[in-house]
Chain A
Amino acid sequence: MRLLLIEDHAALRTAVSQYLQEAGYIVDTAATGDEGLWAAEGGNHDLILLDLMLPNIDGMEILRRLRALGNPVHILVLSARDGLDDRLQALDAGADDYLVKPFPLQEVLARTRALLRRTYVKKNPVMQVADLELDPMRRTVLRAGQSIDLTALEYRLLEYLFYRAGEVVSRTDIWERVFEDSTGGTSNTVDVYIGYLRKKLNANSLPDLIHTKRGHGYLLDHS
């Protein structure tokens, strides 16, 4: 999952970004409004965490411009403005959620997960495909009731496939949302990590749930 954090306060930006990274997300950051808008318009993020008071371009303006462009990305507003009017204004301008500063980082993470579930139309926080289970809150993976140890990158890859379970996910999408450096990479890396995942998930000769669709990408599904 690739997130974009647009926040001008350095300490807050660093802390939120690192916390989300440690929670398994790829976090791009921007310190100014124009930088943030440019990054958001790239359209490769699953969620944007947006401050309202920003240098150069205001957070509200970013919201309006993204929605005017028809960008459907979920936006979580992080703002020091706690008035009802401010919250209503932001939500009406297209924000999906609003969090008033100061906030516990756990809450940012919980709201991030909730918005990501909405992004991929998941109601249940614990996702399941056949006998494979993934719990984003605990960051655990179970296959046939057995816990499976995954590296951070493997987990991120599997979580992304879970969010998009039932649909074919292109290598480019995976590359952009799962891997840190999403520019100029190779799809071979994706294939290599899919291989690692299969090996760990299919131990004990269990059936493969990650299906390769040649020329299209990968599909996580029952059959």
Chain B
Amino acid sequence: MSTPSIRRSLLIRCGIGVGTLLCLLSAWTYLLVRQRLYHELDIAIKETAALLANQVELEDDRISFEWQEGIGTNRDLSPDGLFQFWENNTGATTRSPGLHFRDLPRFTGIGGEPLLRSITLSNGHRARAIGLRIYPFVTPEEKIRMFEKGEVIDPRTIPFTLVVARDGEPTYQTLELLRNILIIGTLLILGLGFVLIQRVVGSALLPINLLSRQVQNRSEHQLDAALDLPEELPIELKGLAETFDRLLSRVAATRQREKDFIRHAAHELRTPIAGLRATTDLALSQNRDAAAYAEHLATCQKTAIELGELVKRLSALARLEQSNTALVTESLDISRIVFATVESFRPQFEQENLQLSYPGDDSSFSAQADQTLLQIVLNNLLDNARSYAKASSTVQVALAQTEGRTEIRITNAVDDFPDDLERMFEPLFRRETSRHDATSHLGIGLTLSREAAHTMGGNLTASRASETEIAFTLSLP
């Protein structure tokens, strides 16, 4: 099956449309002219027939044809006229001299009514002819005479068939010429029209081709750059081009995010790799005792574990971002899970001289969530709070039910309030340029947590709880 083409479709449709219109117009013109010419020819024949119908006279008990006498108006009939009389009773016939003793076809309409038709003359010329039944006429003087004689003859008992023809060859030739002109003209117009339509279609499709070329000619590195839309872009294409541009800008944003992520990830991987490299360089720089090698190996192992953790979190983030399958959530006892998590973190907080406040009241909160993902979010939020909370401050964990959703809110005081709260959710962004704890904070915890929240149909947001306090709220359905 051939690929649909706008150009081809336009050409075919315009060609068929214009061609049909042109053919109809030509046919109509031809028929109109022919009708007109036939009409003129027929009028002339009818006039002749009308004259000849009065040329048969019953006189002195016999039939005489006045035209043969060449008197008065009849003078013009005889030389070139083409007509023939038949006496129906006897079959006797009389021809005009113009027929040169050849017969015309004999015909009349039903009941002798005049009938017009096209015929071919004996010389091969096409002609129009009229056939009708006529009766001889009787002059009043003849009627009186017949009456006096006592031999009145009814003229209706002597019917004649009159056929009058007129050579229509010039008319037919004119019509043939007209037909040829119209056919050739139609074909020429169709040909020229095809070329013209092609050019018009080509020029109409030019902006599409321009856009298409722009897209085709792009090099690998600028695939998602916005299109250079020409000023004169037709309005019909503007919407499409703008939609395409919007799509490109979304692709560009995604690519930029990926590039940033890769750049940041590479940057984050460099430091532990540098540690690994430096430790091995040092170990191999000279001969050492077994204890020294063991110490360096232990450092390498620790760094490798750190690298593994970073890669694990990056993979988890990538999986969450790329996951197309809907997560099946279940109704979970949020109060119990939060309580258990808070209690597991309490010793670490105490070690950092931080207070961890969780009312743990009797109200039971539940929500639709996935336990593993929920645990990832809670662990990250509490770990962040432990690392970034102001020294000797209290980190507050609270649960609430708002508009049918369960909210887990973790609030802590900070030394420096971040300028842009949303940026904290970007991959590998840390709340301050400086690292608080290089080994445990890899800068993707919040990104991962938000992705996990979204996957569960919830959300994770950061807000300013007070002048110096930041609050993270996990909202679950």
Contact residues of A between 1 and 49, Cβ < 8 Å to B: 8-12, 14-16, 18-19, 22, 32-33
- CB–CB B274/A19 < 8 A: no
A106 contacts B by Cβ under 8 Å: yes
- CB–CB A57/B434 < 8 A: yes
Q: Which of B274, B296, B439 contacts A10 (CB 8 A)?
A: B439
- CB–CB A81/B267 < 8 A: yes
Q: Which chain A positions have C-beta within 8 A of B276?
A: 11, 102
Cα distance A55–B437 when bound, in Å? Answer: 7
Cα distance A53–B15 when bound, in Å? Answer: 72
- CB–CB B271/A19 < 8 A: no
Contact residues of B between 416 and 459, Cβ < 8 Å to A: 433-439
Q: How many cross-chain pairs have Cβ atoms below 8 Å apart between A and B?
A: 91
Contact residues of B between 226 and 267, Cβ < 8 Å to A: 263, 267
- CB–CB A14/B299 < 8 A: yes
A115 contacts B by Cβ under 8 Å: no
Task: For residue A19, give the distance in angstroms from its CB to the closest CB of chain B.
Answer: 5
- CB–CB A9/B282 < 8 A: no
- CB–CB A102/B273 < 8 A: yes
Q: Which chain B positions have C-beta within 8 A of A80?
A: 267-268, 270-271, 274
Q: Which chain B positions have C-beta within 8 A of A10?
A: 275, 438-439
- CB–CB B438/A19 < 8 A: no
Cα distance A22–B438 when bound, in Å? Answer: 26
Q: Which of A32, A57, A78, A106 contacts B281 (CB 8 A)?
A: A106
Cα distance A100–B435 when bound, in Å? Answer: 18
A103 contacts B by Cβ under 8 Å: yes
Contact residues of A between 92 and 132, Cβ < 8 Å to B: 100-106
A73 contacts B by Cβ under 8 Å: no
A204 contacts B by Cβ under 8 Å: no
Q: Which chain B positions have C-beta within 8 A of A22?
A: 282, 285-286
Chain A residues touching B, majority SS: loop
Cα distance A14–B299 when bound, in Å? Answer: 9
A154 contacts B by Cβ under 8 Å: no
Q: Which chain B positions have C-beta within 8 A of A101?
A: 270-271, 273-274
| Interface size range of chain B in the complex | 20 to 34
Instruction: Count residues on chain A whose CB falls below 8 Å from chain B CBs.
Output: 31
Q: Which chain B positions have C-beta within 8 A of A106?
A: 281
- CB–CB A58/B303 < 8 A: no
Q: Which chain B positions have C-beta within 8 A of A11?
A: 272, 275-276, 278-279, 299-300, 302-303
In the complex with contacts A11-B279, A15-B279, A55-B435 CB distance below 8 A: yes
A56 contacts B by Cβ under 8 Å: yes
In the complex with contacts A22-B286, A101-B273, A55-B278 CB distance below 8 A: no
Cα distance A203–B273 when bound, in Å? Answer: 48
**B interface residues with partner A (beta carbon < 8 Å):** 263, 267-268, 270-279, 281-282, 285-286, 296, 299-300, 302-303, 433-439
CB<8 Å pairs between A and B, sample of 27: A8-B435, A10-B275, A10-B439, A11-B272, A11-B300, A11-B303, A12-B274, A14-B299, A15-B275, A15-B296, A18-B282, A19-B278, A22-B282, A32-B434, A54-B434, A54-B435, A55-B438, A58-B433, A80-B270, A80-B271, A100-B270, A101-B270, A101-B271, A101-B274, A102-B270, A102-B277, A104-B277
Q: A10-B438, A12-B279 are in contact. List 16 more A-B contacts (CB 8 A).
A: A9-B274, A11-B279, A14-B279, A15-B282, A19-B278, A22-B286, A53-B434, A54-B435, A55-B435, A78-B274, A81-B267, A101-B270, A102-B273, A102-B277, A104-B277, A104-B281
